[in-house]
Structure 1
Amino acid sequence: MALSAFRFGPLTIPLEQVFLVSKLSYALVNLKPVRPGHVLVATRRPVARFNDLSQSEVLDLFTQAQRVSKVVERVTKAESLTLCIQDGDKAGQSVPHVHLHVIPRFEGDFATNDDIYDALAHQPRVDNHERPPRSPHDMAEEALRLREEIGSQWNAIS
């Protein structure tokens, strides 16, 4: 049976919204990004907390995050990136599944550099309708652009 979706905590992520898959991780576009180009790298195994990952999962998560970072920086022409993990509800984790945020950064995008963490911590939860989610069509288009970039640039970044 072919894989048709990924689990992301209680959510089902269709393959159309995924742009990179490895043995232990996958990268997906964000339903409610804090900045354009804000994507996620998640473990394939549904684990809520970072300390519960195996060493192999940690290595793969960060290897894929590095690959995704290179592609996101190139596609968005970002000057820098913020990479972060919100590990647990009190840290602002809105989906109980280990995932790493890759967020393109530009001069002046936030009043102070650390305001991005407030934006992440206070962003509406996935199940909260304060900010409407992106359309599945828009998310699929972004994932396709990133898949194409990864496909055309993979030798340069692997």
Structure 2
Amino acid sequence: CSMPLLRASVASTRSLASLSLRRRGSNLIQRIDHRFGTLARKRTYAVTRPTFAMDKTVLVGREAVDRLFGPWTISRNEVFAESPLSFAFVNLKPVVPGHVLVAPKRVVKRFGSLTNDEVADLWQLAKVVGHGLESSAHDLFPDASRSRKPEYSLTLCIQDGPQAGQTVPHVHIHVLPRKEGDFENNDQVYDEIDDGEKGLTKQLDDESRRE
């Protein structure tokens, strides 16, 4: 293969990857129906099953399986994305529209107990999910999208241990799309995440009793 042809092939591959990434963001939001007036089985979100894949990150479809989250089981209906070692699922105690969780498939209490491969995989999936949420945030924040040029951001955080606010004994990353003015004080989001964590275990218990 000549160098010009090789360069053209690489450029074409990058272009297709970029297009797929944009489509993935749109697809992600379509599959996570975040409208707070809409409930599915009394959950905060309505989630439809996606069938979309790129590289090793898959927005799972009918082949999804239930996943353990600490001592609780997360229904396959709530899992919307997976990578080889991690999974992403809807949050039962969201702080903002689009607030989701990413966790390792192996039940691990503390971040320091993850393997290097699990750490890399966990953050890679969080990156993909965050990109999808941010790039399609106009669907999550319709009021903000009416402004001239709305800009969106992300908050990604881990509460590592009970003293840090962790209530579920399973490492997880909070991924939250953000818009200007969503909190009067920007650091208030962390207080809201703490409050949400405190109610998460009760919500998970309630969900378990329903099933």
Report the TM-score range of the alignment, normalised by the length of the smaller protein. Answer: 0.7 to 0.9
Aligned residues: 131
Aligned to 2:159: 86
Counterpart of 2:95, as a letter, is V
Matched, 1:61 2:122: yes
Structure 1 CA distance for aligned equivalents of residues 179 and 158 of structure 2:
20
Matched, 1:126 2:200: yes
Q: Percent identity?
A: 50
1:122: how far off? 2.1
1:4: how far off? 2.9
Gaps of 5+ in 2: 1-62, 139-150
- The two structures have a TM-score, normalised by structure 2, of 0.58
Gaps of 5+ in 1: 137-158
- The two structures have a TM-score, normalised by structure 1, of 0.77
Query: Which structure carries more relative contact order (alpha carbon 8 Å, separation 6+)?
Result: 1
Structure 2 CA distance for aligned equivalents of residues 33 and 101 of structure 1:
10
Structure 2 CA distance for aligned equivalents of residues 26 and 48 of structure 1:
16
Counterpart of 2:124, as a letter, is T
- CA RMSD, Structure 1 to Structure 2 (Å): 2.0
Which protein is bigger by CA-based radius of gyration?
A: 2
CA change 1:68–1:3 in 2 (3 A) is closer
1:3: how far off? 6.1
Q: What are the Cα deviations for residues 10-34 of structure 1, in whole angstroms up to 9, with x where unaligned?
A: 1101111111111100000101101
- Report 1:7-26 matches (<5 A): 7-26=68-87
User: What secondary structure does 1:84 align onto?
Assistant: strand
Structure 1 CA distance for aligned equivalents of residues 92 and 128 of structure 2:
21
- Report 1:70-85 matches (<5 A): 70-77=131-138, 79-85=152-158
